[in-house]
Amino acid sequence: MHFDDLLTEQRNHRSTHIDRESTLEMVATINREDHRVARAVQKQLPEIAAAIDAAFPKFDDGGRLIYVGAGTSGRLGVIDATELQPTYGLTAEQTFGLIAGGTEALTHTIQAVEDSPELAQDDLAAVNLGPKDVVIASAASGQTPYTVFALQFAQDQGALGIGFSCIEDSPLAKLADYPITPVVGPEVITGATLLKAGTAEKMVLNMLSTGIMIKSGKVYQNLMINVVPSNGKTFERAKKIIAEATQTSTLAAERALDRAGNNIPLAIVLIETKGTIAEAKALLGATNGHVSQAVKLNDSHQD
């Protein structure tokens, strides 16, 4: 399909007079279009769930979550990967983003790099992809050469390929093991895919990464339990997480955290099971660090 024929590049008849609207009318127009984004993403929930179910066992088994894209799509991927690290206690080796043009492209527009299949191959070859890895490739148009070729290269190495785009039957969608294609329609400002397409990508990436983290045991109840207590603020947050998770006092939480060597999951299991450090460690070891499964396993042993 010719680039100018893509739905994301068409004019939006609902915003043709946006330059003559009052400021309130203008933002209302943008907001109405954003409502369409949520509905488009909602239609993709089965596909998003299937991608999560395919991805988390690989991540659980030591695979990496790798985002790939160019321009806005690439920047959003880098943001998601970067935020996962402090939120869920991941390292920069476990999840990271690759953007066409490298780190300079995060703050500057670098022409032509998104059209380079060779650059995509070089970037992915440098991280030694393997069959445990999960690659999330994003491109609003679904046909950016850097992104499409990166996904092809990743799959050639045996990695799982998830493809985000806003165009049905795009090259990226056809190539991906798990295509996710919320059709958001024409942008409020013609061709400005940082708007609705960018919002859709952020929503989808949030669901994908959050789902993978939950399924991989990085969340207990609805609490982020892999925060690493490294300063006063995070230490206080850790105590609050433990207290809320176990319905106990912050003093009891602090004592358990101290016994557990500042390991939040271990402290929670200690309180929930009323066992020893050795027993709590054994439960977490048997469940690959999943706190809810560890507590359930302990309960089954008590029956």
Segments making up each domain of the chain, as ranges: 3-215, 219-302
Fold of the 3-215 domain? Rossmann fold (3.40.50)
- Label the pairing between strands 223-224 and 219-220: antiparallel
Mean pLDDT of the chain: 92
Encode pLDDT of 98-140 as tens digits.
Answer: 999 989 989 998 888 888 888 898 999 999 999 999 999 999 9
Query: Given 21, 25, 33, 83, which residue is catalytic?
Result: 83
- Provide Rg for the chain, Cα atoms: 22
* Predicted TM-score (pTM) of this structure: 0.91
pLDDT of residue 143: 93
DSSP SS3 for 137: strand
Cα 247 to chain center, whole Å? 30
How far is the CA of 112 from the CAs of 71, 105, 119, 139, 143, in angstroms?
11, 11, 11, 15, 14
Q: Which of these is catalytic: 33, 114, 201, 272?
A: 114
User: How many CA atoms lie less than 13 Å away from 49 in the CB half-sphere?
Assistant: 5
- Cα 141 from chain centroid (whole Å): 20
Does the annotation mark 83 as catalytic?
Answer: yes
**pLDDT number for residue 4:** 60
- CATH number of the structural domain 219-302: 1.10.8.1080
Q: Does the structure show a pLDDT above 90 at 39?
A: yes
Query: Does the active-site annotation cover 25?
Result: no
Sheet with 95-99, edge to edge strand ranges: 95-99, 65-69, 134-138, 160-164, 178-180
Residue 111, CB-side half-sphere exposure with 13 Å CA sphere: 0
